[in-house]
Amino acid sequence: MNTKTLVFGMLTIGISTFGFAQQQSDSLKVEQLDEVVITDSKFNLKRENSGKVITKITQTELQHLQGKSIADIINSTAGIEINGTRSNAGQSLSYFVRGGRNRQVLVLIDGIAVTDASQIANDYDLRLLNADQVESIEILKGASSSLYGTGAATAVINIKLKKASKDAFAINLRSTLGSNQSHEDAEYAVEHFENSVSVNGTLDDFSYLASFGHQFTNGLSAIAAGEEADAFNTHNGYLKLGYQFSKAFKLTTYASFDHFKADFDDGFAFVDADNVATTDQYRIGISPELNYNNGSITLNAAFNEVERDIASGFPTQFLARSFIGDLFNRYNFNGKFYTVIGVNAQKNEIESYSIPFGQNDFVQDISSQEGNFTIVDPYLNAVYVSDFGLNINAGLRLNNHSEYGSHLVYSLNPSFKKDFDFGYVKGLASYSTSFITPSLYQLFEPTFGNAELQPEENRTIEVGAEINLKNKATLSVVYFNRLEERFVDFVDQGNFVFQYTNIDEDFTASGLEVVADVALTKSLNLKANGTYTKVDEDLGLRIPELKMNAALQYDFGKQTFLSLTYQFNDDREDAFYNATTFENENVTLESYSLLDVYISHKLIENKLTLFATMSNILNEEYNELFGYSTKGRNINIGFTLSL
């Protein structure tokens, strides 16, 4: 595909959409897109005053995506490809954002970073999170280490969990059941069960929320050639308590547990196997907030423990603990100048065990006394919102790491908004740097680890524009260019010795993101996005050059909602280990298109809603990951009940 033609075509689609929206009647009434965002500044600012194009998935939108996982929902965002969402439910997830990898994506839950020190990439596994617990999601792309620290190199995914009802007592129930089958299967047996319940309310100054969720999915083998189904079973529990001591001071505490058990097969020989991966996560946290004139002081602190057990031909066990504390002061100077001054502290540690070849008992590979590090980061961020349209967001952070010393990152993000009778036009640019701390596994694993590793560095440049037509449409176009330095790779040292090493060569990823949200009529809305990504050959594994998403949404009055969604993924390069030649081989996975439909109907307003989905309507056969299963046409039905 010719690159210039492709880019021109994407721009033409965006401009045509803009032109069509201009022709719409002024009588159209849709929700004004002056929504508030927080992720790019830690302040509640109008989207139009942000120098970033932030994707916000609201509770209303989540209600129209019932039955989907958090990874499924995020996967339809511009610039993001989450590999594994269309495979067996227990398939590990790979996050590809702007040509990056898992270690370059930072996940926040209620504003505080969540990581997993037992993972090679130190990333958070979105399979652990129950979608029914989520209130909204904000996705900020680009380097954001100056505000959020290590790992915030290509994207920050800020997940806000639900709050308690203002009523004294409320109960919410949701249940889903459906099929889970491949392209070749046409039996449509019920193999997917998902249930959740929450009890919540507010009694004077005290608020509470307790929720529990369960999912069991079976019927689909992990590998494409498999004859045996591989089940996925997960449980989630969450408790949040809050107390408003005064108008100035409130305290929130929470605790959660997440468990999943996933059967998986032999991914080297691509044969059925009785392998099982079990993960348990326990998390507790506290978040006091003191408000004063024009400002507030907030502490977000959480302790996280992960136990992971891999039962396979190479049995391993991991125990990881992490503590993260983020103390920051926000101050608002008359609605024009906003500052955040804070300090972030982390302590991560890992223990790992394996059974050596020819032995029967586990031995320790990494001890917590050796496998640990601490990080202490002071940081400063400032936002200026002028009366004449100029907005500036800038930040600094000094990372102090117990293993490799100090490291400075910074960001500068100016934007300019011009108001017109029809809406506004905004131009934006940013230059930001980021870093990715080597994981404990990469540093201290006795066979492959390298204690001399240095942090990866990223530099990201963004240039773009956003056009908003009042009550009609929003269109944005962003070009990005990202440079990776000191890339950490798994390198063959010769004589079958492999080790994690910083690569001297620099890598570049660049691309274009186009996003459109258009009100076609009072009841009909179109959301579409397209991403073109160009990466160096060594970084191109499983990353589509072109990816497009579109959703056509229709409201039949206030009771019934219907949406038709489309996704196109371009050709991707993959690699697999050939057990015959004992070498890695490259393969090209062909492009594919998926069409889904969703419908919901409110039987009782604000009480009972029925919904149904059909995914991969055309039952297209395709490969998401070489050698592994992918889902064919599947049907889910369910209901939500609020009392």
Q: Concatenate the DSSP letters of all residues of 51-111 into one string.
A: SS--EEE-HHHHHTTTT--HHHHHTTSTTEEEETTTS-TTPPPEEEETT--GGGEEEEETT
Three-state SS at 288 = strand
Minimum mean pLDDT among 79-83, 334-338, 539-543: which range?
539-543
Report the C-alpha dihedral over residues 532, 536, 538, 539, rounded to 10 degrees: -40
Instruction: Give yes or no for residue 582 having a pLDDT over 90.
Output: no
Q: Is the pLDDT of residue 266 over 50?
A: yes
Beta-bridge mates of residue 398: 408
Q: 3-state SS of 459-501?
A: EEEEEEEEEEECCCEEEEEEEEEEEEECCEEEEEEECCEEEEE
- Helix, strand, coil percent content, the chain, rounded in steps of 5: 10, 60, 35
Q: Report phi then psi at 4, rounded to 5.
A: -65, -40
Give the long-range contacts of residues 394-400, CB within 8 A, separation 24 or more: 395/146, 395/147, 396/146, 397/145, 397/146, 397/147, 397/149, 399/145, 399/149, 399/150, 399/375, 399/435, 399/437, 399/455, 400/375, 400/376
* Residues 83 and 94 sit within 8 Å (Cβ to Cβ): yes
The CATH number for 3-642, chosen from 2.60.40.790, 3.40.50.720, 2.40.170.20, 3.30.465.10, is 2.40.170.20
Per-residue pLDDT tens digits for 299-341: 999 999 999 999 998 899 999 999 999 999 999 998 899 999 9
- 138 — pLDDT class (breaks 50, 70, 90): very high
Backbone angles phi, psi at 387, to 5 degrees: -80, -15
The mean pLDDT value of the chain amounts to: 90
pLDDT at 537: 79
Residue 292 has pLDDT above 80, yes or no: yes
The b/e string for 311-342 (b: 16+ C-beta within 10 A; e otherwise) is: eeeeebbbbbbbebbbebebbbeeeeebbbeb
Percentage of residues in the chain having pLDDT higher than 70 = 95
Average pLDDT over residues 153-171: 93
Tokens standing for 215?
Answer: 């999912």
Q: Residues with Cβ < 8 Å from 545, sequence gap 6 or more?
A: 1, 6, 532, 533, 534, 570, 571
Do residues 91 and 553 make contact, with C-beta atoms less than 8 angstroms apart?
Answer: no
Mean pLDDT comparison of 25-34, 60-69, 512-521, 536-545, highest-scoring range = 512-521
Strands 497-502 and 488-494: antiparallel
pLDDT of residue 66: 87
pLDDT surpasses 50 at 496: yes
Q: What is the dihedral of CA 493, 495, 499, 501, to 10 degrees?
A: 0
**Residues 568/593, Cβ–Cβ less than 8 Å:** yes
Give yes or no for residue 392 having a pLDDT over 90: yes
CA distance 147 to 328: 11
Report yes or no: 563 and 553 within 8 Å, Cβ to Cβ.
yes
pLDDT at residue number 34: 59
Contact present, 41 and 330 (Cβ < 8 Å): no
Rounded Cα–Cα distance for residues 465 and 14 (Å) = 12
pLDDT tens string 7-66: 334 433 343 443 433 433 333 333 444 578 888 889 988 888 888 888 999 998 998 888
Q: In a 3-state reduction of DSSP, which class is residue 197?
A: strand
Place of tokens 């010719």: 2
**HSE-up of residue 282 (Cα within 13 Å, Cβ side):** 5
Strand bridging mode 337-354 / 295-311:
unpaired
Q: What is the pLDDT of residue 183?
A: 92
Distance of CA 41 to the CA centre of its chain: 19
Per DSSP bridges, beta strands 583-589 and 592-604 are unpaired
> Are 104 and 485 spatial neighbours (Cβ–Cβ below 8 Å)?
no
For the ranges 53-67, 502-516, 517-531, the lowest mean pLDDT is seen at 53-67
**Best CA proximity match to 91, nearest among 630, 632, 568, 477:** 630
CA distances in angstroms from 47 to 41, 57, 252, 394, listed in the order given? 11, 13, 27, 17
Residue 637 has pLDDT above 50, yes or no: yes
Other residues' Cβ atoms within 10 Å of the Cβ of residue 420: 11
Residue that is written with structure tokens 């790979």 in the block: 94
Q: Which residues lie closer than 8 Å to 436 by C-beta, 6 or more apart?
A: 103, 104, 150, 151, 153, 455, 456, 458, 488
Inter-CA distances, 456 with 215, 223, 324, 435, Å: 37, 33, 21, 5
Tell me the pLDDT band of 95, cut-offs 50, 70 and 90. very high
Cβ-contact 42, 340 below 8 angstroms: yes
For residues 553 and 424, give the distance between their C-alpha atoms in angstroms, rounded to a whole number. Answer: 25
**Cα 433 from Cα 38, distance rounded (Å):** 20
- Amino acid 13: pLDDT: 39
